[in-house]
């Protein structure tokens, strides 16, 4: 997804969310993986910016969408930690994120409710357009990030497979015929000195 690049160059959007982006504890989001290979910070920016753009088109509260979207998964722990990786995490993390966001930032009640309802229908129903937009953008981004991650894993797997196949062929050749790199080096040295290689000299008579 190229959402992050677009957000970075959108000065109006950055002015709305820079307080959050610059916050030390918010920057911790970049240390955790969210969906396969997407970091949580990237996911938060994706959801935030897409929500912001939808609200702009619909002439709704784009600032609230940007802020609440950026904080919708603002939990200060790794979702993949074995202590939290269970079904309750799916249901509980919106409440935790809304409480943490409210503690660290000045949010409106609408923004707090939007964060809390972003997992609908696995949580409360959204009570504002901001809430509806964020829960929609979250599902769109999560799906896109999931398939991006699958594609990245497949590319890495196939690339690694070809790499190891080439390495295996090299090792097999070296074992059967001697180290090809050393042979090539010896041949170059012999050509410079004018000597004949052992193969060219032939067996002793």
Q: Give pLDDT, residue 70.
A: 97
Q: Measuring CA to CA, how many Å separate 82 from each of 56, 76, 185?
A: 39, 15, 53
DSSP string, 25-70: TGGGGGGSEEETTEEHHHHHHHHHHHHHHHHHHTTS-HHHHHHHHH
Q: Measuring CA to CA, how many Å separate 2 from each of 19, 46, 144, 166, 172?
A: 22, 9, 11, 34, 43
Q: Give pLDDT, residue 144.
A: 87
Q: Give pLDDT, residue 199.
A: 42
SS (H, E, C) 162-198: HHHHHHHHHHHHHHHHCCHHHHHHHHHHHHHHCCCCH
- Which helix (H) or strand (E) covers residue 87, if one does? helix 87-104
How many CB atoms within 10 Å of residue 175? 9
- Domain boundaries in the chain? 3-152, 155-192
Nearest to 42 by CA among 33, 53, 54: 33
Tokens at 102, concatenated: 């409210």
DSSP string, 15-33: HHHHHHHT-TTGGGGGGSE
Burial of 142 (0-12, 13-18, 19+ CB in 10 A): middle
pTM for the model stands at 0.69
Q: d(Cα 137, Cα 123) in Å, to the nearest integer?
A: 16
Write out the chain's pLDDT in tens, 205 residues. 567 778 888 999 999 999 999 999 999 999 887 766 788 999 999 999 999 999 999 999 999 999 999 999 999 887 766 666 666 777 888 999 999 999 999 999 999 999 999 999 989 999 999 999 999 999 999 898 888 755 544 545 555 445 445 545 555 555 565 544 444 445 544 544 555 444 444 444 4
> What's 3-152's CATH class?
mainly alpha
Q: d(Cα 123, Cα 95) in Å, to the nearest integer?
A: 9
Q: Give pLDDT, residue 138.
A: 93
Tokens at 130, concatenated: 């901001």
Phi first, then psi: give them for residue 137, nearest 5 degrees: -65, -35
């Amino acid at each position: 997804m190229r959402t992050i690049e677009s957000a970075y160059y959108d000065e109006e959007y950055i002015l709305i969310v820079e307080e959050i982006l610059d916050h030390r504890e918010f920057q911790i989001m970049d240390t955790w993986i969210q969906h396969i290979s997407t970091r949580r910070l990237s996911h938060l920016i994706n959801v935030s910016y897409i929500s912001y753009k939808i609200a702009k088109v619909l002439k709704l509260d784009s600032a609230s969408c940007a802020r609440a979207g950026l904080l919708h998964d603002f939990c200060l722990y790794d979702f993949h930690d074995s202590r939290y990786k269970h079904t309750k995490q799916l249901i509980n993390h919106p409440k935790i994120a809304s409480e943490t966001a409210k503690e660290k930032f000045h949010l409106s009640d609408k923004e707090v409710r939007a964060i809390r309802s972003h997992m609908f229908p696995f949580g409360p129903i959204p009570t504002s357009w901001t809430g509806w937009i964020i829960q929609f953008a979250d599902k769109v981004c999560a799906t896109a990030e999931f398939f991006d991650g699958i594609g990245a894993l497949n590319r890495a797997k196939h690339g690694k497979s070809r790499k190891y196949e080439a390495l295996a062929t090299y090792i097999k050749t070296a074992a059967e015929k001697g180290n090809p790199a050393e042979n090539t080096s010896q041949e170059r040295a012999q050509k410079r000195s004018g000597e004949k290689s052992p193969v060219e000299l032939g067996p002793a008579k």
